[in-house]
Structure formats: C-alpha cells, structure tokens
Chains A and B, each alone.
Chain A
Amino acid sequence: GQSLEQPSEVTAVEGAIVQINCTYQTSGFYGLSWYQQHDGGAPTFLSYNALDGLEETGRFSSFLSRSDSYGYLLLQELQMKDSASYFCAVDANDYKLSFGAGTTVTVRA
C-alpha cells in the first residue's frame, strides 16, 4: 500500500514563500503529483515529478528526491488567491493516484 505525510496547515503572509513537504512510503513509484483545491472546488493539477530534481512552473516549484522518498511544493510570492488545500499524490502504478490528507494554506494580508 501507500502512505503519505504532509503538514495539515500552514499560514503565511502575502509575498512570502511557503514550502509544503511530502514524505511517502509506497510499493511502486512512477512519480509524485501536486494538486490544489479551493474550498468546495475541484482539485486542479499543479505539477508532476518523475525524476529527481526541481520543476518550476511560474510561482510554483516542485522537488523530488526518490532516494529519500521525499518531495516538496514551493509557493513563492504568495497571493491571497493561493489560499487553498494542497495535496501530494503518489502515482504508484501509472494510473492510480494515492493522495495525502492535504495541507491547508492560509495567506494573510
């Protein structure tokens, strides 16, 4: 099976940088995904790391270390609209995503 751990909550001010860590245990591994979900909304895809290293997409970056079973999502230049829940998800067998419990990010003015 799979298990993922991520912090439950993070609070930061506008303009700050937030790092959300995700550690995982899995019997198979293709990659690590990150999804954003606003209250009452649909989860939306942010990034996917299959190989070690950093992937940058605008203000968001994602990192993976396969040897450490660890990844993180970095949110830079925080904006109020970034207040949401962020989920890491392990792609264990090429189609099935196993999600963490989510990190609620609250951005304050």
Chain B
Amino acid sequence: GAGVSQSPSNKVTEKGKDVELRCDPISGHTALYWYRQSLGQGLEFLIYFQGNSAPDKSGLPSDRFSAERTGGSVSTLTIQRTQQEDSAVYLCASSKGEAKNIQYFGAGTRLSVL
C-alpha cells in the first residue's frame, strides 16, 4: 500500500479482555517495528521484525504481550488480559531492509482499557 496502515484506529476494551492490533506495512519493506506512546511521551520500542522473524523482543513489557508477522507483511500485536496501564497509542513502523534508520509510521491504534 501507499503507507503503513493500522487497524483499528481506536479500541476501547474492558480490563481483562484480550485485544489484537493489526499493522499493514509498506509493500516491500522487510523490517517492521511496534512502539508504544503514552500521552505526552516519546515512543517506547516494543519489538522488531526482520521478515517473519523477531530478533528483538526486548521491549515487550510482559508475557501478556506477543506479536507475530506472517508472509513478511502483516503483523498482529496481541495483548492478553489487558490492564489499565496498557492504555496508550500503539504505533507500527516499517522500513526497507537496507535503510532501517528511516522508519515510516502508521497513525497508530489508540487503546483505552476501562
């Protein structure tokens, strides 16, 4: 596609429920990243994919968070048993394999856990 697409744009859920956030990267971009941004804060790295592999999951805050990428394209970030502190904007980015320093971001999914 023309840009990085994320869905849903907004998600409201109840504490304890599971949520799935989707990211469609730019076609041909082999690298994909998930970040979390709390209100008024910078971006916090969560996970990096190269192709379908995730060589760096170091930013995932707990084992309630997981992510996968299939076909070297679409990625899903899953949060199980959501907590109120999970409320944030979840941003996905992609980049060309040879230029990972230039990352293209989606508009994010705003997650609110009640």
Give A contacts to B, CB under 8 Å: 4, 30-31, 33, 35, 40-45, 48, 50, 87, 89, 91, 94-102
Contact = CB atoms under 8 A, between A and B. Distances in A.
B48 A30 contact: no
Q: Interface of chain B, helix or strand or loop or mixed?
A: strand
A41 B107 CA distance: 5
Interface in B89-108: 91, 93, 95, 100-108
B108 A42 contact: yes
A31 B99 CA distance: 12
Contacts of A40: 107
Contacts, number: 59
B45 interface: yes
B56 A87 contact: no
A42 B4 contact: yes
B42 interface: yes
Contact of A97 (B40, B45, B106): B45
A96 B56 contact: yes
Contacts of B41: 101-102
Contact of A31 (B31, B91, B101, B105): B101
B43 interface: yes
Contact of B48 (A96, A101, A102): A96
A8 B24 CA distance: 32
A7 to B, nearest CB: 13
Contacts of A41: 107
A101 B65 CA distance: 23
B11 to A, nearest CB: 15
Given A42-B107, A95-B31, A101 B42 contact: yes
